[in-house]
Chain A
Amino acid sequence: MPQNEHIELHRKRHGQRLDHHERKRKKESREVHERSHKAKKLIGLKAKLYHKQRHAEKIQMKKTLKMHEQRKTKQKNDDKTPEGAVPAYLLDREGQSRAKVLSNMIKQKRKEKAGKWEVPLPKVRAQGETEVLKVIKTGKRQKKAWKRMVTKVCFVGDGFTRKPPKYERFIRPMGLRFKKAHVTHPELKATFCLPILGVKKNPSSPLYTSLGVITKGTVVEVNVSELGLVTQGGKVIWGKYAQVTNNPENDGCINATVPGYPEFTRNVLTTTKNTKIQHAVGFQSQDHQEDR
């Protein structure tokens, strides 16, 4: 293979053979015959490879031809009106078939009996202590290792004041403290930036819950008074539970979802520790309400 452009250079300088175009034309027309000769006469492995390649080429050719055909003919617009006509007020709603509704009802009854509830992320990877807490060495000879620093995002309340630094066992760095979460409502398909009220449960460990560590799968309570939700009795809902769906320490923000209507009142989280499935203790939670 030529490593440089000397062939082209020669062509530019001296032009081409006088019968170049004639020869080219004839060669191209012979190509068809040569191809068919090859297809008939090849045997063995070469034949297999060749035929496979040719088959693929032919399929592509047929497809493009068909596409061109479609362009030429006038479309008869054959789409029949789809079945399942519904009035305008039902159009944006997913209708459930009756069988599905009944089976859902039975499933829910069974779950109620067993005490299991639905959460957006039911199984979450448990975070070990070495991952979440980093050992901080203190002391004159840097030998004491009783302090720990939290390496994940955490939430501390409004009136948080640190313990005296000498006695502080868990350090929560200010850079990793967050106050707001981006909460997505699945039905409205809208995301709101709402202030966090508190960490309700961290599935990995109750220690993290008390520290306020937020990792993926943590249930946090957010302030939804901005959204203007009201209960049946006319009371305004100002707090809702949402589950964190991303790894906040990697992204720098907390994304959470509210698991749709009706309100999420009870849940049980499960964490997977290798192959053992651990059930975190269920808890009762009620949305905070205030009288109008």
Chain B
Amino acid sequence: MTSEDVERLLIQFQDEEGEVLGSPFDVPLDITPDKLQLVCNALLQKEEPVPLAFFVRGEAEVVSSLGSCVKALGVETEQVLPVVYQPQAVFRVRAVARCTSTLQGHTEAVISTAFSPTGKYLASGSGDTTVRFWDLMTETPHHTARGHTHWVLSIAWSPDGKKLASGCKNSQICLWDPVTGAQMGKTLTGHTKWITWLCWEPLHLNPECRYLASSSKDGSIRVWDTVLGRCEKILTGHTQSVTCVKWGGDGLLYTSSQDRTVKVWRAKDGVQCRTLQGHAHWVNTLALSTDYVLRTGAFEPATATINPQDLTGSLEELKNQALQRYNKVRGSAPERLVSGSDDFTLFLWNPAEDKKPLARMTGHSALVNEVLFSPDTRLLASASFDKSIKIWDGRTGKYLMSLRGHVASVYQVAWSADSRLLVSGSSDSTLKVWDIKTGKLNMDLPGHADEVYAVDWSPDGQRVASGGKDKCLRIWRR
């Protein structure tokens, strides 16, 4: 029997924010992540063991054994080594592999598609001026909502899943009821040019889901009261088209525009707080770290069942659930904002506090079309017209990896609810599912006949919907 003394090392568990857990531990160097997980779970004293990922000193992930990681880093074995543990999502989303149905019905290109916050309904907006609702159980058309007079450019579900707002190129906004497919209230008019983005007020700020923010090419942002059907506030300040508007969880509105600035507004009175400057060309897209949790509201993806259900409970309960989820994801740091621009770079901002960016992320060789935080806010994906997707660290903005495989511009990306998988739709008519842990292509999903304009992953992780220029909406499942 070989009596080799394996070197031992003192490690100290820390959580992401720097708080220590327990006292320093003496462990052998060849300890694997599984055993580390057992130890850590014991320390955390939770009822169910939570899957964890470990990072030495917060930088390098422990993949095979602690020893190899330490050797790679060249760390001294004499001192206490801080090991950061990150709880991963308890549930695991399986990669989608096959196209279960091609939903035809639109007579023009499908421009936008979105799942409702619980994953029960699917809506798609198209160039034939209709918004169609699809029944996910049978994968057939459910309702066709007619009312718009021009292409439906953007759609947005209210966080409680009971209303859908859609904006068209004739600057009108309509609200629809997904159950009956009928229009709720009257058409909201007021903008003078087309609507570029729609965003609802988060559930934990107002459980009735009453207010809706819309941005338009005419450079203004309007906050609408959907119950009364009128415009509450008009926020002007941008000199060119506003490309994106996001309603943050702290009561701030963030808007990006083609005039190269990002502006921060107070939602309560519509006063402009800050202007974030730095980009050299149009700012195309914004992403908030708490985007996913604001979109899903009170629905917890871990509790999803095979048959998606509507949210039940009184308004108070829903509000509390949503607030809990929001606080958990947000942590103690304020929300972070990422903006992607035509100048091929991204900026990471702390908009609630600072005018200066936290980091500038360069590396793309063509314009950045979409940026998206992962649901656990640790990672950031940027899709660009240079055919690649880049993954960055969500906290510091450090570059992590590039996902290459598409042969034409990547238009949109969508994260799975457990932040392990990413699906991307591109102009080359394919969708690709990427595994983030390995950085490799998991699944290639060809099938569309023409460019893929819109991609969405349902919050319960079961389905991916994609629509494009070939007028079909495709649903992909495991």
Encoded as 1 (CB less than 8 Å from any B CB) or 0, chain A from 112 to 138 comes to 000000000000000000000000000
Number of interface residues of A (CB under 8 A): 21
The CA-CA distance from A84 to B127 in the complex, in Å, is 8
Q: Which of B128, B129, B154, B363 is in CB contact (< 8 Å) with A88? A: B154
CB neighbours of A89 from chain B (8 A)? 243, 284-285, 369-370, 411
A229 with B280: CB separation less than 8 A:
yes
Majority-rule SS of A interface residues: loop
A41 to chain B, nearest CB (A): 57
The CA-CA distance from A92 to B280 in the complex, in Å, is 17
Q: Which of A83, A92, A230, A234 is in CB contact (< 8 Å) with B258? A: A92
Task: Evaluate whether A85 and B411 lie within 8 angstroms (CB atoms) in the complex, with A228-B280, A232-B365 already known.
Answer: no
B280 with A85: CB separation less than 8 A:
no
Encoded as 1 (CB less than 8 Å from any A CB) or 0, chain B from 356 to 367 comes to 000010111100
B interface, size bucket: 35 or more
A81 with B109: CB separation less than 8 A:
no
The CA-CA distance from A92 to B259 in the complex, in Å, is 13
A66 to chain B, nearest CB (A): 26
Question: Count of A-B contacts with CB under 8 A?
Answer: 76
Q: Does A233 contact B (CB under 8 A)?
A: yes
List which B335-367 residues lie within 8 A (CB) of chain A.
Answer: 343-345, 360, 362-365
A107 to chain B, nearest CB (A): 20
Task: Evaluate whether A81 and B362 lie within 8 angstroms (CB atoms) in the complex, with A87-B111, A230-B343 already known.
Answer: no
A292 to chain B, nearest CB (A): 9
Encoded as 1 (CB less than 8 Å from any B CB) or 0, chain A from 219 to 234 comes to 0000000011111111
- Segment from B145-153, B158-166, B174-182 that makes contact with A: B145-153
Encoded as 1 (CB less than 8 Å from any B CB) or 0, chain A from 67 to 100 comes to 0000000000000010111111111100000000
B343 with A88: CB separation less than 8 A:
no
Among residues of A, the one whose C-beta sits closest to the C-beta of B365 is A232
CB neighbours of B108 from chain A (8 A)? 81, 83, 85
B109 with A91: CB separation less than 8 A:
no
Among residues of B, the one whose C-beta sits closest to the C-beta of A229 is B280
Q: Does B126 contact A (CB under 8 A)?
A: yes
B362 with A234: CB separation less than 8 A:
yes
Q: Does A188 contact B (CB under 8 A)?
A: yes
The CA-CA distance from A92 to B112 in the complex, in Å, is 17
Task: Evaluate whether A232 and B280 lie within 8 angstroms (CB atoms) in the complex, with A85-B109, A92-B258 already known.
Answer: no
The CA-CA distance from A104 to B113 in the complex, in Å, is 33
The CA-CA distance from A272 to B149 in the complex, in Å, is 53
Among residues of A, the one whose C-beta sits closest to the C-beta of B152 is A85
CB neighbours of A227 from chain B (8 A)? 280
Task: Evaluate whether A81 and B151 lie within 8 angstroms (CB atoms) in the complex, with A87-B111, A188-B281, A227-B280 already known.
Answer: yes
List which B194-227 residues lie within 8 A (CB) of chain A.
Answer: 194-197, 217
B109 with A229: CB separation less than 8 A:
no
The CA-CA distance from A3 to B111 in the complex, in Å, is 74
B281 to chain A, nearest CB (A): 7
B127 with A233: CB separation less than 8 A:
no
A85 with B197: CB separation less than 8 A:
no
A100 to chain B, nearest CB (A): 15
Among residues of A, the one whose C-beta sits closest to the C-beta of B399 is A234
CB neighbours of B112 from chain A (8 A)? 87
B442 to chain A, nearest CB (A): 25
Q: Does B454 contact A (CB under 8 A)?
A: yes
The CA-CA distance from A83 to B107 in the complex, in Å, is 10
List which B88-146 residues lie within 8 A (CB) of chain A.
Answer: 108-109, 111-112, 126-129
Task: Evaluate whether A232 and B344 lie within 8 angstroms (CB atoms) in the complex, with A81-B128, A88-B194 already known.
Answer: yes
Q: Does B374 contact A (CB under 8 A)?
A: no
The CA-CA distance from A232 to B363 in the complex, in Å, is 5
- 16 A-B pairs whose Cβ atoms sit less than 8 Å apart in the complex: A81-B129, A81-B149, A84-B127, A85-B128, A85-B151, A86-B127, A88-B194, A89-B243, A89-B284, A91-B217, A228-B279, A228-B343, A230-B343, A230-B345, A232-B362, A234-B363
Using a CB–CB cutoff of 8 Å, the interface residues on chain A facing chain B are 81, 83-92, 187-188, 227-234
Given contacts A87-B454, A230-B343, A232-B363, 10 further A-B contacts (CB under 8 A): A88-B195, A88-B196, A88-B197, A89-B243, A91-B153, A92-B282, A188-B281, A228-B279, A233-B362, A234-B362
